[in-house]
Structure 1
Amino acid sequence: MEKNTATGMIFNMQKFSINDGPGIRTVVFFKGCPLKCSWCANPESQQPQREIIWDSQKCSSCHTCLKNCPHSAITTTENGIAIAPHRCSDSNSCASCQICIEKCPSRALKAEGDIKTVDEVMRIVLQDEPFYEESGGGVTLSGGEAAMQPDFALALLKALRKKRIHTAIETTGFTSPAVFANLLPYLDLLLFDIKHWDNQKHIEGTGVSNAVILKNMKTAIEQGKNVLPRLPVIPGYNNSLADAEGFVQHLHEAGARRVQLLPFHQFGENKYHLLGKKYAFAHTPALHPEDLAAFQQVFLQHGMEAFF
C-alpha cells in the first residue's frame, strides 16, 4: 500500500466525540488559527508551531528547566517561570526542542502540538471505524483552523473519502476561496463559526474581516453542501437583540436557514494560565440557553431555525 507521508501540526485527537457532527466521531485538532478571539476555548490552537505549557501546580521551582534550556528561552518571574514564544529572528526564544520537558522532574512542562503524517492520523482514526458505521459518525477536522494547513487537510480528507468515512470540519471559514474550493468536494458537513455580522466589529474581536468568511459560506450553501452556521454568543460583543437582527440578515443573504447558538462559557480558562496568557473573560459569567431566550426569538420570528 502506498504510504501517505504528508505532514501537519496536530495538538489533539479526541475519540468518542458526540458534539462535533453526527454519530460517534474522532476529532482531529489542527494547530494554528488566523483568528485571535479573546474568548477562544482552545488558546493552545492559535499559534501554528509547537508550544511548551507550564503547570504551576506541579512545578517544584527547582529551575532544572531554566538550567538546561539551550536557547535561554526560560526566565524566572514573580509567579514562577516564563517561556519566550518562538520567533525565528530571536535567539532567546523557544525552539520547541523539548529538552526542558525531558529534564523536568515534576512533569510540570508539556508540549502542545506534534507533527503527524496522514498515515499516522488514519491509523488512529481507523481504530474506531466500526463505531462510525454503527452510529453514522465519522471524523471532524477542528482546531485551530484546518484550512491553515491546506495540503495536509486535503490529503487527510482524501484518505478518509477512500475509506468512505463521513467527514466534517469545524471552521472559521477564513481562508482563500481557492483553498476553500479545493477542500469543499471532500466535506460532507461544514460547522461554520460566525463571530459577528458587522465587519468592523468582527475585525475588533478576531483581528480579521468577515468578508471572505461570508463569501465561503455562501459558496458552500450554493453548492448544496450541508452547512450549519454556529454562533458563539459572547457577552458585550455580539449578544444584543440588534446583533441578532444583524446576524439574521447576513445569514439569510448567505442562504442559511438555520443556526446553532453557542452560549459563552469559560471551559478554556485554565489553558490561558498554562500558556502564561491573560484571560480577558476571567470575571464574565457564563451564559445559558435560558439567558438567550429573547436573542433566540429574533431568529425564530424571522423564520430561521435557531437551536442550542
Structure 2
Amino acid sequence: MTKGIIFNIQKFSIHDGPGIRTTVFLKGCPLRCQWCSNPESQNPDIQILYNHQTCLHCLHCISVCPQHAISYNNEHIHIDFQKCIGCLQCTQQCPSHSLTCEGEYQEVQEIVRICKQDLPFYEESNGGVTISGGEGMGQPQFVEALLQALKAEKIHVAIETTGYIQEDIFHQLAPQFDLLLFDVKHYDSHQHLFKTGVPNELIIQNLTWAIQQGIDVLPRIPVIPDFNCTLEDAEGFVKLFQKTGIKRVQLLPFHQFGEKKYEMLNQEYLYQNKKALHPEDLKDYQQIFINHNIDCFI
C-alpha cells in the first residue's frame, strides 16, 4: 500500500532518536493511555477538532453536515463520531476555522519528498526519520512501503512503538528499522491494563524477541504520576530489564503538552490536574537503574 493516514509531519525533531530528525505521525493506536499527549492519534480515522474559544456559534456547520452528526448544546458544538464520515464539509465551510481536521491520507512518495528536504541536516547530525503515532506498525503495509522508500534514499529510520503488535507483523517489520524506540510503560500487567487498556505480556514478549535478535532497541519509560513514578516502581522495572537483558533505558518525564487537545476532541482528560514532572524530579528514580548497572538517561 502506497497510501496511509497521518496527522503530522514534524521537522527538526531532536527528541525522537539521534540527531536532527523528521517525525512522521501515523494515526491509529491499540492503547488508550490515560495521559496520552496525542489523543488525536488513537482513532485510525479522520477526526474533527473543535475550538470553542474561536467559535462564532453561527451553527452553519450543523446545516451543512450531510450525516446530521453535529449538534449544539451548552454553547458547545458536539460531533458524533459514530455518524461522522469525514467528508470535511464542516471544516471547509466554518467561517472562523474553529472546526479543523486531524488526519489525511498521503502517498509514500510525497512523505519521502518532504523528508528528503532535510537530508543535509540528517547527514550533519547523524539524524534521519522517525515514524511515530499512534502506533506506526498499526498500518503495516504502508509503513513497510514507507520504510523501504526511505532506506532506498540511505536515510536512517527509527520507529516509536508501543510493542503491542501481532507477533508476525512485529517480526516482519522490526528488523528492518535502524532503531526501535520502544515504550515500556509498566512491569506489572494488571497495572498496565488498568491505565492503558491492554495487558503487557505481548509487549514484553516482542521486546525480549527484538533484543535477542540483536536489533538496536532503546526502551523508554514514560514516568507517570500515580502509575509508575515511585522508587518501588523503578525497582520493578530493573527486575524486568535484568530478565530481558536490557542495559540502557531512557526516562520520559510526564508533561501536559496535549491537554488542550482533549477539550477540542470533546474527550475527558483524567490527568488534567496532575503536576508535570521535570528531569530534576527523577534523579532518585534514575539512580535506581544506575545502581543496578543499567545506563539510564533523561
With normalisation by structure 2, the TM-score equals: 0.98
1:46 to 42, 45, 48: 42
Matched residue, 1:65: 61
Matched residue, 2:84: 94
Pairing of 1:114-129 with structure 2 (within 5 A) = 114-129=104-119
Identity %: 52
State the one-letter code of the partner of 1:290. E
2:95 to 80, 90, 105: 105
Matched residue, 2:229: 239
1:213 aligns with 2:208: no
Matched residue, 1:307: 297
CA contact (8 A) 2:91 2:100 kept: yes
CA contact (8 A) 1:51 1:112 kept: yes
Q: Please state whether the residue corresponding to 2:4 is helix, strand or coil.
A: strand
Q: Please state whether the residue corresponding to 1:281 is helix, strand or coil.
A: coil
State the one-letter code of the partner of 1:276. N
State the one-letter code of the partner of 2:242. H
State the one-letter code of the partner of 2:72. T
1:142 aligns with 2:132: yes
Alpha-carbon distance between aligned partners in 1 of 2:65 and 2:177, rounded to the nearest angstrom: 43
User: CA-to-partner distance for each residue in 1:222-251, whole Å, 9 max, x for gaps?
Assistant: 121211110011111111222111111112
CA contact (8 A) 2:57 2:75 kept: no
Matched residue, 2:8: 12
Residue 134 of structure 1 and its aligned partner are, at CA, apart by 1.8
CA contact (8 A) 2:221 2:251 kept: yes
Matched residue, 2:161: 171
Matched residue, 2:19: 23
Q: Please state whether the residue corresponding to 2:36 is helix, strand or coil.
A: coil
Of stretches 149-158 and 251-260 in structure 1, the one that deviates more from structure 2 is: 251-260
User: CA-to-partner distance for each residue in 1:106-133, whole Å, 9 max, x for gaps?
Assistant: 1111110001111111111111122212
1:292 aligns with 2:288: no
CA contact (8 A) 1:11 1:45 kept: yes
State the one-letter code of the partner of 2:128. G
1:82 aligns with 2:82: no
Residue 63 of structure 1 and its aligned partner are, at CA, apart by 0.4
Residue 185 of structure 1 and its aligned partner are, at CA, apart by 2.6
Matched residue, 1:264: 254
State the one-letter code of the partner of 1:14. Q
1:195 aligns with 2:195: no
CA contact (8 A) 1:191 1:228 kept: yes
Alpha-carbon distance between aligned partners in 2 of 1:293 and 1:134, rounded to the nearest angstrom: 32
1:222 aligns with 2:222: no
Of stretches 231-240 and 124-133 in structure 1, the one that deviates more from structure 2 is: 124-133
CA contact (8 A) 1:161 1:186 kept: no
User: CA-to-partner distance for each residue in 1:29-76, whole Å, 9 max, x for gaps?
Assistant: 000000000100000000000000011111100000011111000011
Alpha-carbon distance between aligned partners in 2 of 1:302 and 1:245, rounded to the nearest angstrom: 9
Matched residue, 1:90: none
Q: Please state whether the residue corresponding to 2:117 is helix, strand or coil.
A: helix
User: CA-to-partner distance for each residue in 1:89-122, whole Å, 9 max, x for gaps?
Assistant: xxxx111100001111111111100011111111
Alpha-carbon distance between aligned partners in 1 of 2:23 and 2:198, rounded to the nearest angstrom: 25
Q: Please state whether the residue corresponding to 2:252 is helix, strand or coil.
A: strand
CA contact (8 A) 1:154 1:182 kept: no
CA contact (8 A) 1:215 1:254 kept: no
Gaps of 5+ in 2: none
